[in-house]
Amino acid sequence: MNTEVLSVKNIKKSFKNGEDRSEVLRGVSFSVLDGEFISISGPSGCGKSTLLNLMGLLDTPDSGEYFVDGLLVTNMSASQRAKIRGNRIGFVFQSFNLIDEMTILENVALPLKYRGDSLSSRHARALDCLDKVGLADKAHLFPNQVSGGQQQRVSIARALAGDSGIMLVDEPTGNLDSKNGDAIMQLILDLNRQGTTIVLVTHDPRYANMASRTIHLKDGLVVTPSEEAQDASEAA
């Protein structure tokens, strides 16, 4: 039986907008098992990326509890959360978030520098991860010397470098054409088959359906597929 690696319990998050406060997440709860591939889908503005940022320990909720490997992380200090993020969670961003002044190899190796690994071990690990995404021959180029699809592969290699076992992926195909988007999703699927736990945020139902399970968000809450279908029917 697979163990629970991520658990979100009644998470709430709001943002101040002038004098008003906008509730983005209004009590979200679900769990992710080791080796699972889940997608988080829903209309624009439903809180998908906010939720993923919270799960990636890039932000903190207003209330609720979040567990990583059974550890309650919501009340930890920023340095404690950063340590867990560095050791356990890889993050893939829609906009790639690569550093233009660094080579592709250096970009992939960067998280390992913060972890304290030696230069030789960082570069060896980065090269191995680039090989997994088919870009070992591009290691000494800079991000602006490769295509958008290849840049996204670099960002996936960077997320793999920490050997965390968990990858959070935020709209990885949003800046790509359909051919490159399909290739990136196939790579993510392959990584999951090799044992990586994947949590994917996507607005594309084709890609959401590649996951073994989908969490449907609407207005900051988890809804059932039937509720989502009913809302879509009423909107039409």
Q: Where are the domains of the chain?
A: 4-235
Closest listed residue to residue 94, CA positions, set 203, 15, 205: 203
How many angstroms separate the CA atoms of 77 and 59, rounded?
A: 12
How confident is the model at residue 93, as a pLDDT? 86
The pTM assigned to this predicted structure is 0.88
Per-residue exposure over 18-31, b if at least 16 CB sit within 10 Å of its own CB, e if not: eeeeeebbeebeee
Report strand pairing: 20-33 vs 37-41: unpaired
How confident is the model at residue 20, as a pLDDT? 85
How confident is the model at residue 33, as a pLDDT? 96
How confident is the model at residue 7, as a pLDDT? 97
Closest listed residue to residue 26, CA positions, set 46, 52, 4: 46
Residue with tokens 């960082």: 122
How confident is the model at residue 228, as a pLDDT? 55
DSSP H or E run through 77: none
| Alpha carbon of residue 194 to chain centroid | 17
Token representation of residue 75: 């009340």
How many angstroms separate the CA atoms of 199 and 115, rounded?
A: 23
DSSP string, 1-59: -PPEEEEEEEEEEEEEETTEEEEEEEEEEEEEETT-EEEEE-STTSSHHHHHHHHTTSS
How confident is the model at residue 36, as a pLDDT? 97
CATH 3.40.50.300 fits 4-235, yes or no: yes
The residues of the chain scoring below 50 in pLDDT are 235-236
How confident is the model at residue 236, as a pLDDT? 46
